[in-house]
Amino acid sequence: MGVQAYRAPRSIPEAVSLLSSEAGAFALGGGTDLLVQQRSGARQPGSFIDLKRIPGMLGIEQLPSLWRIGAATACGEVASHPGLRSELPGLVEAAGLIGSKQVQGRASLGGNLCNASPAADSVPALVANRAVLVVAGPEGERRIAAECLTLGPGRTVLGRGEFVCAIEIPRPAARQSDAYLRFIPRTEMDIAVVGAAASLRVDEGGRCIAARIALGAVAPTVLTSPEADAALTGSMLEPEAIAACVAIAQAACSPISDRRGTAEFRRHVAGVLLRRVILAASQRLAKEG
Amino acid sequence: MTHAPHIPVVGSRPQRPDGADKVTGRARYGADLSLPGMVWGAVLRSPHAHARILSIDTSAALALPGVLAVLTSADMAANFSADVAAGESHIDLQDMSRNVLAREKVLYHGHAVAAVAATSQRLAKEALKAIQVEYAPLPVVLDLDAAMHPDAPVLHPGMFTRGLPETPSVASNIASRLVMQKGNVDEGFAEAEVVMERTYTCASAHQGYIEPHACLASAGADGQIDLWCCTQGHFAVRSYTAALLGLDPASIRVTASEIGGGFGGKTTVYLEPLAVALSRKCGRPVKMQMSREEVFRATGPGSATRITVKVGARRDGTLIAMDALMEYEAGAFKGSPAGAGAMTIFTSYSAPHQRAVALDVVVNKPKVAAYRAPGAPQAAHATECLLNELAAELGIDPLDLRCRNAVTNGTPTVYGATLRNIGLQECLDAARVHPHWSAPLGPNQGRGLAVGFWFNHGAQSSASVHLVEGGKLLVQEGNPDIGGSRASMALMAADTLGIPYADVHPVVADTASVGYSDMTGGSRVTYATGYAVIEACRELVERLKSRAATVWGVEPSQVEWRDGVAIDGRDPSRSMSIAELAALSGRMDGPLSGQGSVNLKSAAPSFAVNIADVEVDPETGASRVLRFTAIQDAGRAIHPDFVEGQLQGGAVQGIGWALNEEYRFDANGVMENPGFLDYRMPVASDLPMIDTVIVEVPWPDHPFGVRGVGETPICAPIAAVASALNAAAGTTIREVPLSPPRVLAAIMAKD
């Protein structure tokens, strides 16, 4: 257990430089995963680089074509934002499920992404909504699709000195909505055994013209399936189309058995939840009229 | 002179004396005390579930700067003259010593092997890494079948099954076999028109107290020792620590901190002897506290069990014969509550032929500890679920089946006592008229009913009362307040003396400040310690009357004590208040106090009836308790809030055990879920408001009619919830917990 340093850079270049140069430097957002991992001995950071003082890391911005959420913005803020609540209700549901109310006061979407847990609640919702991550690093800024961030449990594509500074989510078109559900044995304070998100867009006649589903905790990284999406696209979201989408997605799952659930259980529940989120998103569209 | 009559306070709901401290954070728990010069202790734990210890080399750890002492089993007393008494249970000091620090073998993953004291927590942990232990791993035994297999690795080579007709010649993992019976079950089953036999299992569940074990020990150069710890029994801590370390109990002064839950799990010692021994070695106060992970890996849960029950009945539902084979995991050392399970399993029912065979089986898991009505919830799960299955088979209402067979006063039990003044029928009557019992159910919803029973305990307690200037009363008792007992003591003292509740100040005194008291357990404190407080108050009343008699020049027998006032029986206009009498102390015969010491050989048995409604999601196996009603005979509720709290708390623990709580071990015996994230106790949002009904059938042997209430609440909930869930899902799952994967698998198997 080394002695840790705590640093709070005020700019992106300063943060990149500290993350690049300090031995064992870890980017710190809300710390709801990192500090717990450090205390349990799972990770032994040499220093904490707190990103919250950097302009742009906190806050939610509505731009003409997208929402820009600072990567360290607390999930509680995301979950209570009126604009996000109306445009991205599924993402808001996911952000409002992480940990507990207290944890949501600290936990961030950036942290939820970079902790790279297959069970992260916000990730399927971000992926279903085609979120793009703005990554800062020694080579400057780059953008990567949310589903491309993680390589496996605890592993990301981020290089030394890189960190996610913002999440950009395209603003939904007319007649587009989303939903997120997760399965836990309790009602809160738990980690998803399965998570499912869907974003749907329909035409004026109710025909699905764009669909994207994403599943959590059923594979080493968030699971997407263009084939499953395609089963919905062009349909009237009738039960047969949903069943076809679910079957394709279930077949693509490669869950593990662990203390939170068996592979068999996860695969089954993934199908149930996926059907339910598709129905939930389509009901939202129906309400919109 | 006239005085306002005392309005009795027993049965009212005043604020608890320790309430403000607890809600403001001022209350001091086990880890809250520090002393000048204090250092930190830490425990090295076994990475193996079963291994021989070949050698322990502590030299490198001792050589580290800041490391002041290292402890191994070699520092513990080697021989124990006698076992110590421990309230309800029998303590084997050889086992207790080996559980506190492993000697020849480690017997579970997390078993304590050595301890260190260092100047910081970080250094203490570093020092643990420097201790070299050589192990020879042994095959692990992780469940009942593996333990009882003829070729099973034997945990204790010197352990031969007790209670067999012939003394065995081969060592076994079955520590004992106990048979409880009355009548003749074979004859009973021959008479029966319907016979059903089913096997039920329960996983190990932890008491789940929020406060991890913590203590602070300070040994003086003269051998005087102060020990501060969170415990359910500081006198027991004194006895155990003295015995394990070969010390004089009178040299150890133990103060019980406030306690953040115990539920039976804080009736033994883990850290306390280590902290004392380390402090004696290094001459500094030593503080130790467990992490949650250590609590899970190394402190006692309740037993995992397998219980096969057979009942024989007539078609009209009359039970004739009941038989059970009860197999209880004890963990690494003997001492599961199989016997208590056998004593409770059929006690609620009047079937004339009953037998329970109980096996106490050791496995390579943490040694079990008492958990609220130890052994009874698992037993009730088996019997009550089977009776619900029988009711369905016979087409009889489950409540009618209970009423037809409920025990009555005068029924002899399998354990010898004859039941008297019980309130079971009254609880069943309360269930029948409760709106819950007849409320409609929706789709995917089911209802379960179950009866619970626990003996309760009396035993030894002491209390002192002292009059303070102004007529206020100080009450010293020797039992940590785990469920609102200070309030109950104050209420009973107030009514015994006829003074206001607010004038009574109860304190939990340390072992050097009050007489011996058995631990807070067995639902005995309000009953037995309350009795001691009443006795002490009565003695004080006699002294008050005697003083008034002296003042008035009359005989004490001519003085009446009424409403907190001494009245001259010959001239009722003449009276003296308690404050006036207290003020005379310096001029008369000194301070006024009273002492009560009791050893209550009997206690009031207690019954409960629970009703649970559960809804199941048939697509995922997820379930939710929609409604829960706990009905229980409290004898007399001294402070109804705390009686209701006990009923609610027991229900919640039972719901957790029924639905999601379980120890999960990998093939090497390593617990996979040693934290509250994956050891899933219910959170507030998982639960409905637990409705309670207090039935009051007073117990005649207690001045206020008290019946212990703390343990019975956990007896019936597992069975009530399991029966409700099976009814909702259309399944017959006989394993607990009824976790979603298990429920879903049963639903899919049915389809």
In tens, the pLDDT along B690-740 reads 999 999 999 999 999 999 999 999 999 999 999 999 999 999 999 999 999
Report if residue B499 sits inside a domain. Answer: yes
pLDDT bracket for residue A4 (50, 70, 90): confident
Find the closest chain A residue to B126 by CA distance. Answer: A1
Q: Which residues of A touch B659 (CB under 8 A)?
A: 185
B553 and B631 housed in the same domain: no
Q: What is the mean pLDDT of residues B160-189?
A: 96
B704 and B609 housed in the same domain: yes
Cα dihedral angle (A181, A96, A131, A230), rounded to 10 degrees?
A: 10
Report the pLDDT value the prediction gives residue B673, as an integer from 0 to 100: 96
Residue A268 in contact with partner chain B when CB distance is under 8 A: yes
Q: CA B517 to CA B484: how far, in whole Å?
A: 17
How many CA atoms, within 13 angstroms, populate the side-chain half-sphere of residue B342?
Answer: 27
Report the pLDDT value the prediction gives residue B91, as an integer from 0 to 100: 85
Disruptive mutation site among B619, B663, B672, B681 for chain A (greatest number of A CBs within 10 Å)? B619
B520 and B594 housed in the same domain: yes
Please report how the helices B485-497 and B530-552 are oriented relative to each other, as an axis angle in degrees rounded to 10. Answer: 30
Q: CA B89 to CA B337: how far, in whole Å?
A: 9
Q: What percent of chain B lies above the pLDDT cut of 70?
A: 98
Per residue in A13-27, pLDDT tens?
999 999 999 889 999
Which of B620, B621, B683 faces A186 most closely, judged by CB atoms?
Answer: B683
**CA distance to partner chain B, nearest, from residue A160 (Å):** 29
> Which run of H or of E encompasses B745?
helix B740-750
B431 and B526 housed in the same domain: no
pLDDT of B562 higher than 60: yes
**CA distance to partner chain B, nearest, from residue A16 (Å):** 31
Per residue in B292-339, pLDDT tens?
999 999 999 999 999 999 999 999 999 999 999 999 999 999 999 999
Q: CA A246 to CA A255: how far, in whole Å?
A: 15
B564 and B676 housed in the same domain: no
B402 and B446 housed in the same domain: yes
Instruction: List, in order, residues 6 or more apart from A150 with CB less than 8 Å away.
Output: A113, A116, A123, A156, A157, A221, A222
Report the pLDDT value the prediction gives residue B85, as an integer from 0 to 100: 53
| Residue B294: active-site member | no
Q: What is the mean pLDDT of residues B549-559?
A: 96
Report if residue B45 sits inside a domain. Answer: no
Last residue of some domain: B575, B600, B625? B600
Report if residue B191 sits inside a domain. Answer: no
Q: CA B7 to CA B498: how far, in whole Å?
A: 8
In angstroms, the first-to-last Cα distance of chain A is 58
Q: What is the mean pLDDT of residues B604-608?
A: 97
Report the pLDDT value the prediction gives residue B84, as an integer from 0 to 100: 61
Q: Which residues of B touch A192 (CB under 8 A)?
A: none
pLDDT of A288 higher than 80: no
B608 and B746 housed in the same domain: yes
Instruction: List, in order, residues 6 or more apart from A102 with CB less than 8 Å away.
Output: none
Report if residue B737 sits inside a domain. Answer: yes
**CA distance to partner chain B, nearest, from residue A93 (Å):** 17
Report if residue B642 sits inside a domain. Answer: yes
**CA distance to partner chain A, nearest, from residue B291 (Å):** 10
Q: Which of residues 46-65 of A touch B (CB under 8 A)?
A: none
Residue A227 in contact with partner chain B when CB distance is under 8 A: no
Per residue in A33-86, pLDDT tens?
999 999 888 888 999 999 999 999 999 999 999 999 999 999 999 999 999 999
Last residue of some domain: B542, B565, B600? B600
**CA distance to partner chain A, nearest, from residue B661 (Å):** 11
Q: CA B62 to CA A200: how far, in whole Å?
A: 65
Q: Which residues of B touch A267 (CB under 8 A)?
A: none
Q: Please state the three-class secondary structure of A236-249 as a single string.
A: CCCHHHHHHHHHHH
The CATH number of the domain holding residue B489 is: 3.30.365.10
pLDDT of B88 higher than 50: no
Task: Catalytic residue, from B294, B384, B661, B711: name it.
Answer: B711
B742 and B608 housed in the same domain: yes
Find the closest chain B residue to A257 by CA distance. Answer: B741
B619 and B587 housed in the same domain: no
> Which run of H or of E encompasses A13?
helix A12-21
Q: Which residues of A touch B660 (CB under 8 A)?
A: 185-186
Which of A185, A262, A272 faces B680 most closely, judged by CB atoms?
Answer: A185
pLDDT of B83 higher than 60: no
Per residue in B612-646, pLDDT tens?
999 999 999 999 999 999 999 999 999 999 999 99
pLDDT of A1 higher than 50: no
Find the closest chain B residue to A194 by CA distance. Answer: B620
Q: CA B589 to CA B4: how far, in whole Å?
A: 28
Q: Which residues of A touch B122 (CB under 8 A)?
A: 1
B628 and B592 housed in the same domain: no
Find the closest chain A residue to B741 by CA distance. Answer: A265
Report the pLDDT value the prediction gives residue A259, as an integer from 0 to 100: 87
B462 and B437 housed in the same domain: no
Report the pLDDT value the prediction gives residue A41, as an integer from 0 to 100: 85
Last residue of some domain: B584, B600, B616? B600
Number of structural domains in chain B: 2
**CA distance to partner chain A, nearest, from residue B60 (Å):** 18
Residue A287 in contact with partner chain B when CB distance is under 8 A: no
pLDDT bracket for residue B746 (50, 70, 90): very high
Cα R_g (chain B), whole angstroms = 27
Say what the pTM is. 0.96
Report if residue B503 sits inside a domain. Answer: yes
Report if residue B706 sits inside a domain. Answer: yes
Q: What angle do CA B728, B733, B738 make, to 5 degrees?
A: 75
Containing structural domain, residue B668 = 398-409+417-456+604-750
Which of B677, B741, B748 faces A191 most closely, judged by CB atoms?
Answer: B677
Domains, chain A, in order of start with CATH, read 5-50 (3.30.43), 60-170 (3.30.465.10), 176-288 (3.30.390.50)
pLDDT of A91 higher than 70: yes
Q: Which residues of B touch A191 (CB under 8 A)?
A: 677
Residue A196 in contact with partner chain B when CB distance is under 8 A: no
Please report how the helices B717-729 and B640-659 are oriented relative to each other, as an axis angle in degrees rounded to 10. Answer: 50
Find the closest chain A residue to B664 by CA distance. Answer: A259
Q: Which residues of A touch B621 (CB under 8 A)?
A: 265
Report the pLDDT value the prediction gives residue B254, as an integer from 0 to 100: 98
Average pLDDT, chain B: 96
Cross-chain Cβ contact A260/B672 below 8 Å: no
Report if residue B494 sits inside a domain. Answer: yes
Chains A & B: contacts with CB separation below 8 Å: 53
Find the closest chain B residue to A267 by CA distance. Answer: B620
pLDDT of A2 higher than 70: no
Q: Which residues of B touch A189 (CB under 8 A)?
A: 676-677, 683
Cross-chain Cβ contact B680/A268 below 8 Å: no
B529 and B613 housed in the same domain: no
